């Protein structure tokens, strides 16, 4: 019975039908969501060791002038606890939900394309974690740099929600930014986009990066938006270099085969 059901979900060429794709998408999303929820539960208990690291820049600033974090609402501390737990859940569950993306793409690809996607998932996971680590490393310097513009004799009162929005979004955005070259390179390796086509769309890419970072940056902070956008642009052009190099290698192989055939 199960075999008959599987046969009905594919067309004569072995491809999944639209209905089967929707069922598969729901299954993958459910698993990804469950992994994030379980990660957030773990993140709830990791709050105590994480919080002192998050406010580390504030303590450094307080040595120069008065600097404290304000909780401006009754539920503010609880909301921030939840926000930190969810962010930790997204990060530590990234191997699961990135794999679910990979697993959803696989049924519609050829054997050759599956090989590249398999490589994608094993490169996407460490790159995302590396990006999050980079964001975590950079954020104290950004906070301290901004605080250096506070005039002498003044005090800094940081709204807790605004501060955490900035820090946590920075960490996740940098993590996502590190995925950009992976996706572009994957599309090139499976033959969807050429390196020249990726380069040709650089204006649209920069516009998309700007919009993305504007949404990710709290309170439309232009300076922070530019800091977030810069590495994404660099990674984009880095992927252009890799894909164009790959295209040249493919062209050389094709030319060599034609020479042998002749």
pLDDT at 2: 42
Q: What is the pLDDT of residues 39-73, one digit of tens each?
A: 999 999 999 999 999 999 998 888 888 888 888 88
CA gap 199, 211 in Å, rounded: 19
Residue 2, in any domain of the structure: no
Assess whether 117 and 245 both reside in one domain: no
Domain boundary among 109, 129, 160: 160
CA gap 172, 136 in Å, rounded: 9
Name the residue range of residue 255's domain: 179-262
Assess whether 124 and 42 both reside in one domain: yes
Q: What separation in angstroms does the CA of 176 have from each of 41, 74, 104, 206, 239? A: 22, 33, 19, 15, 15
* pLDDT over 60 (residue 3): no
**Percent of the chain residues topping a pLDDT of 70:** 84
Residue 172, in any domain of the structure: no
Q: What is the pLDDT of residues 25-44, one digit of tens each?
A: 888 889 999 999 999 999 99
Assess whether 189 and 149 both reside in one domain: no
pLDDT at 38: 96
CA gap 176, 242 in Å, rounded: 19
């Amino acid at each position: 019975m199960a075999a008959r059901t599987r046969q009905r979900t594919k067309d004569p060429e072995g491809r999944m039908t639209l209905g089967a794709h929707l069922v598969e998408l729901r299954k993958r999303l459910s698993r990804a969501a469950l992994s994030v929820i379980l990660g957030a539960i773990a993140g709830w208990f990791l709050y105590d060791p994480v919080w002192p690291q998050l406010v580390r820049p504030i303590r450094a600033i307080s040595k120069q002038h008065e600097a404290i974090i304000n909780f401006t609402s009754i539920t503010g501390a609880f909301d921030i606890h939840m926000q930190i737990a969810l962010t930790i859940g997204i990060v530590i569950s990234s191997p699961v939900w990135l794999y679910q993306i990979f697993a959803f793409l696989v049924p519609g690809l050829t054997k050759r394309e599956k090989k590249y996607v398999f490589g994608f998932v094993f490169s996407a996971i460490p790159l995302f974690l590396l990006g999050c680590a980079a964001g975590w490393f950079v954020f104290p310097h950004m906070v301290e740099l901004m605080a250096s513009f506070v005039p002498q004799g003044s005090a800094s009162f940081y709204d807790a929600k605004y501060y955490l929005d900035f820090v946590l979004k920075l960490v996740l955005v940098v993590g996502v930014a590190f995925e950009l070259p992976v996706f572009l390179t994957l599309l090139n390796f499976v033959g969807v986009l050429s390196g020249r086509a990726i380069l040709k769309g650089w204006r649209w890419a920069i516009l998309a990066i700007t919009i993305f970072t504007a949404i990710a940056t709290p309170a439309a902070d232009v300076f922070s938006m530019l800091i977030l956008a810069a590495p994404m642009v660099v990674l984009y052009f880095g992927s252009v270099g890799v894909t164009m190099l790959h295209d040249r290698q493919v062209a050389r192989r094709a030319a060599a085969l034609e020479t042998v055939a002749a």
